[in-house]
């Protein structure tokens, strides 16, 4: 039982950590009360997680109501020392860890983190931009007025949607995208990411990824670059894809903005100085409209 739970903990709690990176978009951390140990009765699934042998379980701090008729919990993963959000069913028999999205694609886990978890010191995202620069492929005009970095897995559905949304801005010469392939979802994410790095026409290679016809490559040197990108992604606490970074203006100051998951495109385009008319094709596509709703 403990072995199986450890696998669950490594795989799903790592996904929940990405909400920490996105939380600043929703609330100011200085409004969050300091955490104290939870003294109420724990549901069975969470009690099991908190009482793992060896002291490597979860420390429980806070309970709150969450969407989907779930109970949200602020807990600490004792292995990593990170405070994260998990959920339990009303009967307490099921524990869920990971990113919660609503019907509009909004990251509810990030919102709950901002509302309930005091913020830790943010990673140096200026350094992150520099490190990702070396591992990516540029798509778009080098004369574009704006640039973003997109960390993606070739098997990530949301990554494919993101590319569809930004494609008109790329085609218009207004946006340059640094696509950084990583491998976190399936075994062939590595070979697909390596093939993308090898492509002489990255725009066509991305089209192949979106259509489900991604090329693959067994080049060991390129695979090593994808693995290195994955390490950089985790170093800067992005544990899911897409991850988006870009330099924009905040009160007149140059600031690195980040999104763990699909970004708020309207807000991002405004910060980048891009015409929001470039989002109209997405707004008119039923499969993409939810990402650009105001």
Architecture of the domain whose range is 2-116: Roll (3.10)
From CA 177, how far away is CA 218, in angstroms rounded?
25
Helix pair angle (265-272, 157-171), 10° resolution: 40
Q: Tell me which CATH homologous superfamily contains domain 125-291.
A: Glutaredoxin (3.40.30.10)
Could you give the angle at the alpha carbon of 125 between the alpha carbons of 121 and 130, nearest 5°?
150
pTM of the full structure? 0.64
Dump pLDDT digits (tens) for 131-176: 999 999 999 999 999 999 999 999 999 999 999 999 999 999 999 9
The H-or-E segment that residue 120 falls in is none
pLDDT in tens, the chain (294 residues): 444 444 444 444 444 444 444 444 454 445 677 889 999 999 999 999 888 655 567 899 999 999 999 999 999 877 667 788 999 999 999 999 888 988 888 889 889 998 998 876 678 899 999 999 999 999 999 999 999 999 999 999 999 999 999 999 999 999 999 999 999 999 999 999 999 999 999 999 999 999 999 999 999 999 999 999 999 998 888 878 999 999 987 777 888 999 988 999 999 999 999 999 999 999 999 999 999 986
| Domain ranges, ordered by start, for the chain | 2-116, 125-291
What sign does the dihedral 140-146-149-155 (CA atoms) show?
negative
Q: CB–CB of 234/131 below 8 Å?
A: no
């Amino acid at each position: 039982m403990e072995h199986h739970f450890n696998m669950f903990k490594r795989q799903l709690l790592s996904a929940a950590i990405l909400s920490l990176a996105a939380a600043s978009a929703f609330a100011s951390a200085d409004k969050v009360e300091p955490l104290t140990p939870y003294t109420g009765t724990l549901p069975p699934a969470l009690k099991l997680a908190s009482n793992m042998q060896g002291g490597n379980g979860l420390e429980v701090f806070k309970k709150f109501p969450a969407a989907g008729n779930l109970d949200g919990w602020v807990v600490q993963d004792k292995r990593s020392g990170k405070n994260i959000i998990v959920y339990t069913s009303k009967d307490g028999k099921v524990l869920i860890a990971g990113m919660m999205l609503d019907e509009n694609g909004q990251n509810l886990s990030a919102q709950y983190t901002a509302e309930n978890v005091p913020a830790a010191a943010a990673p140096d995202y200026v350094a992150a931009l520099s490190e990702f620069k070396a591992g990516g492929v540029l798509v778009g005009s080098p004369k574009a007025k704006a640039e973003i970095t997109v960390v993606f897995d070739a098997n990530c559905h949301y990554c494919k949607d993101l590319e569809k949304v930004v494609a008109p801005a790329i085609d218009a010469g207004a946006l340059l995208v640094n696509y950084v392939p990583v491998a976190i979802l399936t075994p062939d994410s590595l070979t697909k990411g390596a093939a993308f790095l090898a492509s002489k026409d990255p725009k066509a290679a991305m089209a192949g990824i979106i259509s489900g016809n991604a090329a693959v490559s067994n080049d060991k040197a390129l695979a090593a670059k994808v693995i290195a990108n994955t390490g950089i992604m985790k170093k800067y606490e992005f544990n899911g894809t897409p991850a988006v970074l870009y330099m924009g203006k905040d009160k007149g100051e140059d600031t690195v903005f980040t999104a763990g998951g699909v970004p708020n495109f309207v807000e991002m385009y405004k910060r980048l100085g891009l015409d929001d008319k470039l989002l109209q094709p997405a707004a008119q596509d039923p499969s993409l409209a939810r990402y650009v709703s105001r």
